[in-house]
Structures are given as C-alpha cells and as structure tokens.
Amino acid sequence: MLNACETEVLGETLRQAGVPVVICWRTKVEDNAGRIFATTLYDACAQGCTERVAFDRAVQALRLVLRQCTLTNGMAAKCRKYEIRAPEQPAHSSGFEPLPWGAGVPVLLSAEGTVVPDIP
C-alpha cells in the first residue's frame, strides 16, 4: 500500500513492473483518514481477507466514522466525519454542520483493473 497523497501514478508504475496488487491514493489524503484506512486494510489482510475485501472494508471504515454535528433544524446529532472525495473539493452532503471532510480517494490497482469507491 502506498499510503501517501497522489500516489496513483507510482502505483501504476509498480503494477506495470509486476506488483500484482497496489493500493494507493488518487488524490490528497487527510492524515487521520489515511491512518484509519491503512489500519483497517492491514487488519483485514491479517485476517486472511483478499485485497479487494480488505479495500472495501477500509473504505467502509472511513464512511462509518462519526462526529457531533448540528442538523439544519438545530438538533444535535452524530454525522459522518468523512466523505470519499478529494479534501479540496466541496462536500456532497448537506443538512448538517460541520460538513464532512474529504478523506481522499483510494484506488485498488490489479490485473482485474482499477477499483475506485462509489462516490454518492
């Protein structure tokens, strides 16, 4: 795993050089989101999951991080802390403050092709 900002080009180079699976970031990555993603990915691999399953679990882990927020009606709630998007792009979500941070966009590169998480 290349757990650093904008490593997709390096990942593609490694794939072409024969590395069977590379997980990297298409965009900048928020530091804490990168740690959550990597920890979840490595834990899943240690449990015997395939790289694809580990990747999907790591993406889901980012989507499940919650924080305190305020809904537009003024009520307190727990809302998503991260969205799968570049940190510099505007949030997709609305209806609460603060809006989710952009975690970054992880990518899985393999012989089967390129996998990027669905971005709602």
For 19-68, write each residue's pLDDT tens digit.
999 999 999 999 999 999 999 999 999 999 999 999 999 999 999 999 99
Sketch the domain layout of the chain as residue ranges.
30-105
Average pLDDT over residues 99-116: 97
Average pLDDT, the chain: 96
pTM above 0.85, yes or no: yes
pLDDT at residue 120 is higher than 80: no
Residue 93 pLDDT grade (very low, low, confident, very high; cuts 50, 70, 90): confident
Q: How far apart are CA 22 and CA 52, in angstroms?
A: 11
